[in-house]
Structure 1
Amino acid sequence: MYIEFFQLREMPFSITPDPAYLYMSPRHQEALGHLLYGTGQYGGFVQLTGEVGTGKTTIVRTLLEQRLDKVDVAFVHNPRLNEQEFVQAICDELGVAYPREQLTLKTLIDALNEHLLRTHAEGRRTVLIIDEAQNLQPEVLEQVRLLTNLETAKEKLLRIMLIGQPELSALLARPDLRQLASRITARFHLTPLGARETAEYIEHRLKVAGSHGEVFTPQAMEEIHRYTKGVPRLINIVCDRALLGAYAQNARRITPEIVRKAAREAIGQLPDEFDPHARRRWRWIEFGWAAALLLSLALLAWSLTRHHDAATAPAAKVTSPPSAAVAATNESPAPAPAAAAAAPPAAAVADPAADFAMLEQTAEPLGAVMSRLIRLWDSKIVVPRGENVCAALKRERLECYRGHGSWADLTQMNRPTILTLDLPSSGAQNFLLTGLDAQSASFATAYGPVRVPLASLDGVWNGEFLLLWRRGTAETYIGPQTRGASVAYLWRRLAALDGVTPPTPLPTRFGPQLGDALTQFQKTRGLVADGVAGIRTLIALGDEVPQTPTLAAAADGTP
């Protein structure tokens, strides 16, 4: 109904879990990292909890979409089973053959054990994921514990992940389940989004759905966070209703008033709506979440250090790739053949097989690629080990911008960019784009620049990207309701880039004259000419600022 009105490809706020719309907040990154750890060689028993609607199921589906090498997964959706039905469901998921007549729990476990031993001998790992695990009966949980006894002399044959609501932690705290609880090697509790993350979440979903402008005002997004408390499912419900309400009013921009009406209609009037102390209490709750996140990061870093050799760790470790589909590693790339270090001629004809082979030979871990991108901006920046990279870069006024677009979008933004390419042999690999023209793209690698025709890349790039941009103002949206230093910043940048003569003294209120000057700037830069400054406009306003790397400056593929 409102899709065409807002020029979208699809509904951006469906409550059906869709990994394509997954917004990787630091909390979601760590949650996915825990699950990825649980599938590895040293993975054991992982517990992931979170309130209803915080994104647990979406993260699990994202994990299932990974191209996990030599990993078999059994996903139990309905845990309301007895012990025999539970083990039978696992066998069915894994394709285990077992006798159908006179079926007993023992025959199922024997068949499962035989299957696990066989797959282990083949070098494969088996992972059991149990969703809505808080609904498991104590007898079934005891059976889960017994399944962890299936092992060889060196490692477990079955890696288990329990996914559930906070009641799962209370259930496992029962004295009769202490043996099971003691075997859990990694725990993570997924909390709701903060106010800023809520705004980023909304913008992310709109961009994935095809939006090219700012639909919700910053004040509207603050209201959404206040009503939903940062729970993604509630955010989706309120935003969907707000888009429908705006469409009914023929309003192109969603205001706090539209959000308040949508929230009342969708989820009812909240108890704190008229409570003057509610916002203060919520700030203290967010502070507690932040402390819990820092503790979780420390625990995860300790766990990884314990089980992995960190001697060859790159300068910057990345917790989430642009597509949220590849985990960062600490591996150093093997020496590439000499042929891989030489870039093909600029006018080379596309040969996808040869181009893919070249890329696969020069592929590096994501941490190394991100480190190279950071060095283009500032060689002195060092991200502490175990810290979320994008969060650490904010202290240097550098922002991560994840988006979805085309080659034309990357040309317009004109910044070095990390792309995830789904290569035929090695799967998803990350590369640093440093140059782009109408025919080819240039990537900076440890072996030198590599240039590849766009015709070859079109089939392996899904449009997702990650780039860095330097924040020139505290705002990420500057429009008619903006007041203060951000307005003066706009005038100064327009004067520097477009030769605009600003009023004297510099205004601190966004007025029609500034809107007109901004619209003209957007037209000349190929941006959506809406007269307000969103992220892409702010990126363009950073052009010609000293130490700002651009694709144009790296057109020869040299970082």
Structure 2
Amino acid sequence: VLTGEVGTGKTTLCHCLLQQLPDDVDLALILNPKLNSLELLANICDELGIGSYAKKSGLKDFNDLLNKYLLDAHASGRRTVLMIDEAQNLNLDVLEQIRLLTNLETAKTKLLQIVLVGQPELKKLLAREELRQLNQRITARYHLEPLTLEETKHYIHHRLTVSGGDSGIFKKSAIRRVHKWSAGIPRLINILCDRALLGAYANGVKQVTPAIVDQAAKEVLDLQAKPRYRVRLFFFVIVLVAVGLLLVNLFASFHDRETLQVTPPVHAEKSKEIQQFEKPLSLETSVIQPQLEVAGTSDRISSIPLSSVKGDRIESESEKFVDFIANPDYSLSRALAEAMRLWGETVSQGMEVHCDDAEKRGLLCLAEHGSLKELLGFDRPAILEFTLADGQRRHVLLVGMDRGYPIFRSIEGQDIVFPLEEVLGYWQGLFLIVWRTPLDHGMTGIYPYNESTNVLWLRDKLDRIEGHGSLDTDQPQYFDDQLVSRVKRFQKRHGLKADGIVGPKTIIYLQNRAENEDVPKLKHID
């Protein structure tokens, strides 16, 4: 069960999960919970592609169909997940039907994993007496909390960085005001920042100030009733303080004045938020630390002896990653030049290069934002962007992985490894891959229902990957429906967007998995 207030990102997490599903998982996502039991089962069947049911099928028919499908999926090594968004709107009959679905199991395992996503009312709903059987079967619960002030700051900086903007465009005092008005709700943070940026542009200023954020809040939030409420709250607090002082004086009058001791006022401890802005920022306090940790990852990483790294790779025990990327020479230009050299291009030391320069030599830049898993999926050397505490950026070329350790190319041309957990602390998911298109005429895409010689390249790669070898027979240059289906299967198998369009990502994946492609790849040391 996943719960959270409106706007905290529950539905975003659902869609994020959709994009990162393992190949052996089938997901049925229900976005409209205003259904009865029969409609719910029909929707699940539709989502899973179980289309062979009559229009007048009853609950038993649907349950039998689902049970047969789940047994077949389990036998073929596949897992099935049912995810229901806005689950707080489910009625009791439907929740009971969901409980019955949990009974679909073999002697050893459940056939269907169910995820309920909803607002905090969902917790109250599941706590009802009549739903205690369902409530007892829940094995994991998580509640999405609003962002803290520090998290709000990192969130705003991250979105600005991803968009290619200046992460310092919001003053610290403006970020505090954003957090105050939004209460840490990501959706409101987005709306406020968007309107504040528009306000800064309209006023012709280069930084967003607290006054601009206040004006943005007045425009996009319902603040009409708040001033009166604050005045009432102020007078209410004054009355409480006055009554409290009166009671203290009355109590003191019943005691001998000689026994009274005057205690000097104790200043209230400063809030964590104030302390964070008063103390100097450091790299460790200003970066976003990973919130999720895969079980066993830290132990596995720390157990690998650095002394076992040999060859051109050097040990990193004497230098921490924070010190390594502090060197301002780790620029995008330097990393780009190093990546071009991997393609056999000659680039003079100290030469300023950009993606335009790479393009003149037949190379292309592919900028992406994703997880480490997505980055490694490309299996290509990649330039990673790291953000320091003061907002400065560093760019370092990743050339491989050594038993869980990233291998980076240093300025001196040596390959150096660092613990993964250190690296992830400064990486926001931005990376750039230098690649060369294998297609005729420098094309970077092959589109369905078009005809060209590039379609022959696509057919050849798929034939080799699927084990057919290179077919000598003449093949059509037309991108037909059958080829679209083959491309979609390949994309789905490798976690790509299964749209049938052969864009840069799909081209790179096809190149990597074809045995006859001579392209730079990541070094993998097991």
TM-score computed with the length of structure 1 as normaliser:
0.48
Whole-Å separation in 1 of the counterparts to 2:121 and 2:62? 29
Equivalent runs, 1:221-370 vs 2, <5 Å: 221-269=175-223, 271=226, 319-320=291-292, 329=297
1:420, 1:431 within 8 Å by CA — same for their partners in 2?
A: no
2:165 aligned residue? 211
2:31 aligned residue? 77
1:98, 1:107 within 8 Å by CA — same for their partners in 2?
A: no
For the pair 1:199 / 2:153, whether they are aligned, the reply is yes
In structure 2, the CA distance between the partners of 1:410 and 1:216, relative to structure 1 (3 Å rule), is: farther
1:433, 1:442 within 8 Å by CA — same for their partners in 2?
A: no
For the pair 1:93 / 2:47, whether they are aligned, the reply is yes
In structure 2, the CA distance between the partners of 1:201 and 1:419, relative to structure 1 (3 Å rule), is: closer
Listed one character per residue, the Cα deviations across residues 128-156 of structure 1 (whole Å, up to 9, x for unaligned) are 00000001111000000000000000111
Which amino acid in 2 is paired with 1:57? Answer: T
2:320 aligned residue? 377
1:110 aligned residue? 64
Which among 55, 61, 75 is matched to residue 15 of structure 2? 61
Listed one character per residue, the Cα deviations across residues 450-476 of structure 1 (whole Å, up to 9, x for unaligned) are 6789xxxxxxxxxxx84549xxxxxxx
Deviation at 1:102, TM superposition (A): 3.1
Whole-Å separation in 2 of the counterparts to 1:431 and 1:154? 46
1:445 aligned residue? 402
Listed one character per residue, the Cα deviations across residues 476-532 of structure 1 (whole Å, up to 9, x for unaligned) are xxxxxxxxxxxxxxxxxxxxxxxxxxxxxxxxxxxxxxxxxxxxxxxxxxxxxxxxx
2:335, 2:383 within 8 Å by CA — same for their partners in 1?
A: no
Whole-Å separation in 2 of the counterparts to 1:221 and 1:433? 24
2:38, 2:59 within 8 Å by CA — same for their partners in 1?
A: yes
1:10 aligned residue? none
1:122 aligned residue? 76
Q: Secondary structure at the match of 1:123?
A: coil
Equivalent runs, 1:390-429 vs 2, <5 Å: 407-408=332-333, 420=372, 422=374
1:433, 1:443 within 8 Å by CA — same for their partners in 2?
A: no
CA RMSD of aligned residues (A): 4.8
Listed one character per residue, the Cα deviations across residues 92-118 of structure 1 (whole Å, up to 9, x for unaligned) are 101114322431111111011100000
Which amino acid in 2 is paired with 1:76? Answer: I
Which among 133, 137, 143 is matched to residue 183 of structure 1? 137
Deviation at 1:423, TM superposition (A): 6.8
Task: Spell out structure 1 runs of 4+ moving beyond 6 A.
Answer: 276-279, 341-345, 372-375, 409-412, 423-434, 437-440
Q: Secondary structure at the match of 2:50?
A: coil
In structure 2, the CA distance between the partners of 1:165 and 1:247, relative to structure 1 (3 Å rule), is: same
2:196, 2:213 within 8 Å by CA — same for their partners in 1?
A: yes
Whole-Å separation in 2 of the counterparts to 1:260 and 1:132? 32
Equivalent runs, 1:18-33 vs 2, <5 Å: none
Whole-Å separation in 1 of the counterparts to 2:236 and 2:310? 61
Deviation at 1:342, TM superposition (A): 7.8
Which amino acid in 2 is paired with 1:90? Answer: I
Whole-Å separation in 1 of the counterparts to 2:236 and 2:71? 56
Whole-Å separation in 2 of the counterparts to 1:170 and 1:428? 49
Which amino acid in 1 is paired with 2:107? Answer: A
Q: Percent identity?
A: 44
Deviation at 1:429, TM superposition (A): 12
Q: Secondary structure at the match of 2:32?
A: coil
Deviation at 1:237, TM superposition (A): 1.1
In structure 2, the CA distance between the partners of 1:278 and 1:261, relative to structure 1 (3 Å rule), is: farther
Deviation at 1:263, TM superposition (A): 0.2
1:147 aligned residue? 101
Deviation at 1:445, TM superposition (A): 1.7
2:28, 2:82 within 8 Å by CA — same for their partners in 1?
A: yes
Q: Secondary structure at the match of 1:127?
A: strand
In structure 2, the CA distance between the partners of 1:447 and 1:221, relative to structure 1 (3 Å rule), is: closer
Which amino acid in 2 is paired with 1:60? Answer: C
1:344, 1:450 within 8 Å by CA — same for their partners in 2?
A: no
Whole-Å separation in 2 of the counterparts to 1:207 and 1:438? 14
Whole-Å separation in 2 of the counterparts to 1:425 and 1:419? 10
Q: Secondary structure at the match of 1:247?
A: helix
Unmatched segments (≥5 aa) in structure 2: 238-267, 273-288, 302-308, 338-369, 387-393, 411-422, 428-523
Listed one character per residue, the Cα deviations across residues 389-421 of structure 1 (whole Å, up to 9, x for unaligned) are xxxxxxxx99x99xxx99449799xxxxx9836
Which amino acid in 2 is paired with 1:84? Answer: L
Q: Secondary structure at the match of 1:264?
A: helix
Q: Secondary structure at the match of 1:186?
A: coil
Whole-Å separation in 1 of the counterparts to 2:405 and 2:126? 53
1:19 aligned residue? none
Q: Secondary structure at the match of 1:151?
A: coil
In structure 2, the CA distance between the partners of 1:330 and 1:429, relative to structure 1 (3 Å rule), is: farther
Whole-Å separation in 2 of the counterparts to 1:179 and 1:375? 57
Which amino acid in 2 is paired with 1:445? Answer: D
1:422, 1:429 within 8 Å by CA — same for their partners in 2?
A: no
Q: Secondary structure at the match of 2:372?
A: strand
In structure 2, the CA distance between the partners of 1:373 and 1:261, relative to structure 1 (3 Å rule), is: farther
In structure 2, the CA distance between the partners of 1:438 and 1:152, relative to structure 1 (3 Å rule), is: closer
Deviation at 1:240, TM superposition (A): 1.0
Whole-Å separation in 2 of the counterparts to 1:428 and 1:152? 42
1:348 aligned residue? none
Whole-Å separation in 1 of the counterparts to 2:182 and 2:39? 38
In structure 2, the CA distance between the partners of 1:158 and 1:219, relative to structure 1 (3 Å rule), is: same
1:54, 1:190 within 8 Å by CA — same for their partners in 2?
A: yes
Unmatched segments (≥5 aa) in structure 1: 1-46, 288-316, 334-340, 346-371, 379-396, 413-417, 454-464, 470-556
Aligned residues: 317
Q: Secondary structure at the match of 1:103?
A: coil
Give the number of the structure whose alpha-carbon radius of gyration is greater. Answer: 2
Deviation at 1:208, TM superposition (A): 1.0
In structure 2, the CA distance between the partners of 1:212 and 1:179, relative to structure 1 (3 Å rule), is: same
Q: Secondary structure at the match of 1:189?
A: strand
1:129, 1:162 within 8 Å by CA — same for their partners in 2?
A: yes
Whole-Å separation in 2 of the counterparts to 1:327 and 1:318? 13
1:171 aligned residue? 125
